[in-house]
Amino acid sequence: MDSLQSRLSEIRVRVAKAAAEAGRDADSVTLIAVTKTVPAEVIEEALGLGLRVFGENRVQEAAEKYPGLKARWPGIALHHIGPLQSNKLNSALQLFDCLHTLDRLSLAEALARKAEAGAILPPIYVQVNIGEEPQKAGIPPAEADDFIALCRDRLALPIRGLMCIPPVEAPPAPYFALLAAIAARHGLAALSMGMSADFETAIRQGATHIRVGSLLFGDRS
């Protein structure tokens, strides 16, 4: 039976297996259910199955769906996982409980200004362009150390982890391992890596947050 419930059970089994293979506790991996293009009724079904951690990549779409859901279902944690424009920061800070894609200095400075003006910043992850791909956002690996230090020390941002999207055409394990190594150098606990196609590999390399959309909700048309 191909239902949301059966897909979720299968993902949980695979998460537990990958965690066990890595000598990790399955509880150390948070499944972020990525709900871009998924209608609110289906998200309600996911909530009914116990899911509480969700990811959206567009502020506007999240603003249409989540205030209502958050009012009805306690305990929702909403993660922003897509490109973030500085001019959407106010809405983003109202809606999201974690930001995964701090990918440039101007955004870091804009976040610091919001904090100075009194905003409470949620946990922030730095996005690293781990495969150094021109079409992808993120800080190049060679610049990540300096960028992380600057965000924490000079801008006092609550940097809690790193996020990456590895190249599609190459085996992802070395890229995940590189992200994990950078995070370890800085004592950053959270590693947001792994999607529908590669979450088990990501877990074996230390992912604490996997972002799964299509495997859970079906293909996005």
Ligand X SMILES: *Cc1c(COP(=O)(O)O)cnc(C)c1O
Give the residues lining the site for ligand X (CB under 6 A). 34, 36, 57, 81-82, 165, 195-197, 211-215
Residue 23 CB, shortest distance to ligand X, in Å, is 25
Q: Do 102 and 124 meet the contact criterion of CB atoms below 8 Å apart?
A: yes
Output 168 or 184, the one with its CB closest to ligand X: 168
Output 86 or 196, the one with its CB closest to ligand X: 196
3-state SS string for 68-94: HHHHHCCCCEEEECCCCCHHHHHHHHH
Q: Residue with the closest Cβ to ligand X? A: 213
Residue 59 CB, shortest distance to ligand X, in Å, is 13
Eight-class DSSP state of 128: B
The secondary element (H helix, E strand) that includes residue 191 is: strand 190-192
CB-based burial label for 180 (10 Å; 0-12, 13-18, 19+): buried
Residue 117 CB, shortest distance to ligand X, in Å, is 28
Structure tokens at 31: 């499944």
Output 119 or 218, the one with its CB closest to ligand X: 218
Output 103 or 111, the one with its CB closest to ligand X: 103
Residue 17 CB, shortest distance to ligand X, in Å, is 18
Eight-class DSSP state of 27: G
Q: What is the dihedral of CA 32, 34, 40, 46, to 10 degrees?
A: -40
d(CA 124, CA 190): 10
Residue 109 CB, shortest distance to ligand X, in Å, is 23
Q: Do 132 and 144 meet the contact criterion of CB atoms below 8 Å apart?
A: no
Output 47 or 127, the one with its CB closest to ligand X: 127
Residue 150 CB, shortest distance to ligand X, in Å, is 24
Output 78 or 195, the one with its CB closest to ligand X: 195
